[in-house]
Amino acid sequence: MKNSNYFILSLYILLLINGCKSVVNKQIKKNSIVEEVETKTPPFEYRRSEPDSILLKRFLGHYKDIYNKDSTQLNYYSAEIFYEKDSIFKVINLYGEYVGAIYNPFAESHIAYRDNLYKEYISGETFRIDKVSPSKYLLYTDDYNRLSSNFHFYNVTFNNDSIVIEETTEHKNFIYNFIDKKKESMDNYLEDIKNSRKLAGNELYQLGIDSTKVEVNEKYYRSPDAFLSRENPYYYGSIYYRQKYGDETMKVLQFNHNDTIKEITLGIVGGDSDSYKMTSEFVNDSIFIQSLVNQETIVDTNDTMGYAFDSIVTKFKYNERFELDTISKDTFKYKKYQFKKYGVPAENHIYYSKPFKINNLECYWKTTLEIIFDDNKKPLKARDIIRKLVNSKTRKIILISKPDMIIGDKKSLFYSLSDDFKDFNFDGFLDFSIYNSTSSGASHAFYDNYIFNPKTRKFDYSKKLSGSEITVDNKLITITLYYNMGRSYHLEHIIRYDLKGKILFEEKFVEELFKEKNSEEYYYLKTYQKIKNNKIILRKTEKDKNLSR
């Protein structure tokens, strides 16, 4: 009986322990559910298919309920969507002002990602987003107060259904985002000066210019252009014009950062009839380019006007303090002749490439093209484009290309076309291949190919290799010529060389489309030829009625 009672007591204790454990587990589970509910994202959802205007309207309508903001202290009046191209998320910049204060604005950045709007947000307006990794982004914000900007930077990391926001000090040159005019020219400088205020005395002193040393014919004007679209206490840029000796005007940027002043020339115009001009461009947040063009009249007759242009393009790397570091300096030359042809305005342009070395010869390209105009003086397509490769030392022409009708980017006319030089016959000298748009058709790409002759030190046009696309295989020591005339004709011509550039043998694979006699059926006639010493030593043909290609 005692044993029985002991067993019953043990069983009761065991059940009691398991029951308590179950209650504890249920409570833990319940607590975890409560915890999940507390951290769950707000009920407001961002729908990717929704137009931005509707999204903003819904956001402003739900905003106070989601974030429990005190409406007696804050007044929200606007919002806008901000995101970079191909961004996986959008930022909703919310704008407002503090109630009772005279113009005391604020902004907030809210993040919509994977159809959800998150509780975590950033104080300030987001104006730039940099992708750091597929799941990490750097947000640039301006937490402004009244008329002053306060820039901050945040790393935002996306983890499935959550985000982590951390402030950081690392960033790129964000001042680029606020540059009002990224391209500068001197086209309207006279009108700008007319609308500008002449500077003297204390204003010159503020620019760091000693007014006692300013010459009589030297004048300074404050430019009406603002350099930065957003004023702030850390960076300040002002622009002024300087006229000197009556025929030169400069547009100068003076940039102040932490009381360190830098000056950068944005534009210049001067000389007789504005014969030299400088333009400039802030290309991105690290590259600044100055382009100086000198113009000279070389022909002036009743029938023709001719001009020569020398362009010096200097590329700089710059930082947020606008310190310049020269990356490269290139000189480009071309000439332009204006005349009438058959009573219609026309122009001849001559471009000179930068010097380069090919097969130990110093060379440059001289490219000529003719441009005709319509009745409204708008240029039509160029025609009669001819490239000449000139030996820089002897001035002799060592290659003349076949005429073409279409040109792409004019900047290519200033370069060496180095990618078009390859050794086609494995003799150790580079040859030349160039696409001919005039000869090419919709189904066939036509290339003009030129072989270098080491005896004459010139490039000779190769009729045998031209008219096709050419591929070089340095491992097999072969070139492959491919001809395609639509569905009706295909030719693959393989030429095998030895290590000294001598042809060992050739192979041709031809497919021609024919129609059966007295039938509506078609077939391909496939022909194989092996050629040695210009003689066919093997020939095979076969019919192929499988027309699927």
Residue 488 reports pLDDT greater than 90: no
Residue 24 reports pLDDT greater than 50: no
Q: Identify the pLDDT of residue 342.
A: 79
Q: How many other C-beta atoms can be found within 10 angstroms of the C-beta atom of residue 460?
A: 13
Q: Identify the pLDDT of residue 196.
A: 82
- Which residue from 192, 277, 284 is spatially nearest to 239, judged by alpha carbons? 192
Residue 191 reports pLDDT greater than 60: yes
Q: Which residue has the higher pLDDT, 470 or 496?
A: 496
Retrieve residue 499's tokens. Answer: 């290590």
Q: Which residue has the higher pLDDT, 8 or 425?
A: 425
pLDDT 10s digits, 498-539: 988 899 999 999 998 888 888 888 888 899 999 999 999 999
Is this structure's pTM higher than 0.95? no
Query: Region 389-414: what's the mean pLDDT?
Result: 84
Retrieve residue 49's tokens. Answer: 């298919």
Q: What are phi and psi of 19, to 5 degrees?
A: -65, -45
Q: Identify the pLDDT of residue 265.
A: 95
Percentage above 70 pLDDT, the chain = 84
Per-residue pLDDT band at 469 (split at 50, 70, 90): confident
Retrieve residue 228's tokens. Answer: 């930065």
Retrieve residue 387's tokens. Answer: 């490239």
CA 362 to chain centroid: 32
- Which residue from 66, 64, 58, 55 is spatially nearest to 91, judged by alpha carbons? 55
Retrieve residue 147's tokens. Answer: 């008329």
Q: 521: which residues sit within 8 A by CB, 6+ positions away?
A: 515, 545
Residue 315 reports pLDDT greater than 80: yes
Residue 298 reports pLDDT greater than 70: yes
Handedness of CA 22, 27, 28, 34 (dihedral sign): positive
Per-residue pLDDT band at 442 (split at 50, 70, 90): low
Q: 479: which residues sit within 8 A by CB, 6+ positions away?
A: 424, 425, 465, 470, 471, 472, 473, 494, 495, 497
Retrieve residue 399's tokens. Answer: 């290659």
- Cα distance between residue 374 and residue 498, in whole Å: 55
Q: Identify the pLDDT of residue 43.
A: 56
- Cα distance between residue 462 and residue 495, in whole Å: 14
- Cα distance between residue 337 and residue 347, in whole Å: 5
Give the least confident one: 24-28, 173-177, 422-426: 24-28
Contact between residue 493 and residue 445 where contact means Cβ atoms under 8 Å apart: no
Residue 486 reports pLDDT greater than 60: yes
- The backbone region for 122, taken as left when phi is positive above 0, alpha when psi lies in -120 to 50, beta otherwise, is beta
Residue 71 reports pLDDT greater than 80: no
Handedness of CA 240, 241, 244, 248 (dihedral sign): positive
Q: Identify the pLDDT of residue 67.
A: 63
- Cα distance between residue 249 and residue 239, in whole Å: 13
Which span out of 60-64, 84-88, 469-473 was modeled with the highest average pLDDT?
469-473
pLDDT 10s digits, 250-285: 999 999 888 888 999 999 998 877 789 999 999 999
Give the least confident one: 20-34, 328-342, 431-445: 20-34
pLDDT 10s digits, 323-353: 999 999 999 999 999 998 877 888 999 999 9
Residue 1 reports pLDDT greater than 60: no
Residue 211 reports pLDDT greater than 90: no
pLDDT 10s digits, 119-156: 889 999 999 999 999 999 999 999 987 768 889 999 99
Q: Identify the pLDDT of residue 352.
A: 95
- Which residue from 519, 518, 515, 495 is spatially nearest to 506, judged by alpha carbons? 495
pLDDT 10s digits, 224-258: 888 998 877 788 888 999 988 668 899 999 998 88
Burial (0-12, 13-18, 19+ Cβ within 10 Å), 139: buried
- Cα distance between residue 122 and residue 153, in whole Å: 10
- Cα distance between residue 186 and residue 315, in whole Å: 19
Q: Which residue has the higher pLDDT, 256 or 383?
A: 256
Q: Identify the pLDDT of residue 27.
A: 38
Which span out of 34-48, 71-85, 382-396 was modeled with the highest average pLDDT?
382-396
- Which residue from 257, 229, 254, 228 is spatially nearest to 240, judged by alpha carbons? 254
Helix (H, G, I), strand (E, B) or coil at 178: helix
